């Protein structure tokens, strides 16, 4: 239980950190807004033409007596939209991180400098295109894993009672795990931690990961919330990554960078993207 509380605590600390750093928060909103527009358009399209697609995909139901074709296709349309919504939640973070790689990389570095006892942050020293390639490649691998879980949970959802009670709960924990991996990858990739090692690291502290990612995944189901929580989620995942790696972290409430040389508008390196 303590790890669950600690994970949730990192999520709250990340939101408080960006609340104290308005400029970082403002720039961190841009990638989420871009991704939200793309996802909203896709979901609206599915809502408008999903029933037509289901009717096209189930011609065998045309000969059924009324009202069974309508009930059957209505059920499949609802399931299709629910699955699309689940995939949207699972992939929103990955796509937003890919779109906003320079912004979130800079934000994560600033968090590291703020809470590090010596005021330094690990740097990958990789070209931006190389970082984007690694991030996209790893995100695709995670998406395949998440999609596999999604298909499994979708199938289990047809089990009476269990499918309507236990399976959704498991789904939230699975979503929380993969969300945390995507968010923590910003800080862990900068430290040279490969995907396989990241997954092993997260599995070693599952309760900590669930405490961070599960409530975030639930919150992401609320329209527009994901956009506003993303900057703080990246900040909190950086704090979580430091704990996973056993790095010493000081209390960042006494922000020494406020108005100082670590302001992204004047600092060097990736922060210059601001």
Q: CB of 209 within 8 A of CB of 263? A: no
CA nearest neighbour of 176 among 165, 184, 187: 184
Give domain status of residue 94, yes or no: yes
Domain total in the chain: 1
In a structure prediction context, what are the per-residue pLDDT tens digits for the chain, which is 274 residues long? Answer: 788 889 999 999 999 999 998 888 887 888 888 888 888 898 888 888 888 888 888 888 888 888 888 888 888 888 888 878 777 776 787 788 878 878 888 899 999 999 988 888 888 777 777 877 887 888 788 878 888 888 888 788 778 887 778 888 888 899 899 989 989 998 998 898 999 999 999 999 999 999 999 999 888 877 678 888 989 999 999 999 999 998 888 775 544 444 333 443 333 333 333 3
Give domain status of residue 75, yes or no: no
The tokens for 242 are 């430091």
Give domain status of residue 13, yes or no: yes
* Strand, helix or coil for residue 223: coil
Q: CB of 36 within 8 A of CB of 100? A: no
Give domain status of residue 212, yes or no: yes
- What number of helices (H) and strands (E) belong to the chain? 9, 0
Domain of residue 238, residue span: 2-46+83-248
Give domain status of residue 62, yes or no: no
Give domain status of residue 257, yes or no: no
Give domain status of residue 268, yes or no: no
Give domain status of residue 120, yes or no: yes
């Amino acid at each position: 239980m303590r790890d669950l509380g600690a994970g949730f605590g990192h999520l709250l600390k990340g939101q408080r950190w960006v609340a104290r750093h308005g400029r970082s928060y403002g720039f961190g909103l841009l990638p989420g807004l871009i991704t939200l527009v793309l996802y909203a358009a896709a979901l609206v399209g599915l809502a408008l033409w999903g029933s037509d697609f289901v009717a096209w995909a189930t011609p065998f139901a045309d000969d059924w007596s009324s009202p069974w074709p309508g009930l059957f296709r209505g059920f499949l349309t609802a399931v299709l939209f629910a699955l699309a919504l689940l995939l949207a939640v699972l992939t929103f973070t990955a796509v937003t991180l890919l779109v906003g790689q320079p912004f979130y990389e800079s934000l994560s570095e600033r968090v590291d400098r703020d809470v590090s006892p010596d005021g330094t942050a690990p740097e990958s020293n990789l070209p931006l295109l190389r970082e984007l390639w690694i991030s996209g490649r790893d995100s695709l691998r995670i998406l395949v894993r998440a999609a596999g879980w999604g298909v499994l949970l979708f199938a289990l959802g047809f089990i009476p009672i269990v499918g309507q009670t236990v399976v959704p709960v498991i789904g939230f924990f699975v979503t929380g795990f993969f969300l945390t991996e995507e968010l923590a990858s910003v800080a862990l990739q900068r430290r040279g931690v490969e995907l396989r090692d990241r997954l092993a690291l997260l599995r070693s502290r599952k309760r900590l990961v669930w405490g961070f990612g599960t409530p975030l995944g639930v919150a992401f189901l609320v329209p527009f919330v994901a956009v506003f929580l993303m900057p703080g989620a990246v900040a909190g995942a950086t704090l979580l990554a430091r704990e996973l790696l056993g790095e010493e972290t000081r209390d960042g409430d006494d922000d020494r960078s406020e108005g100082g040389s670590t302001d992204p508008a004047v600092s060097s390196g990736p922060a210059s993207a601001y």
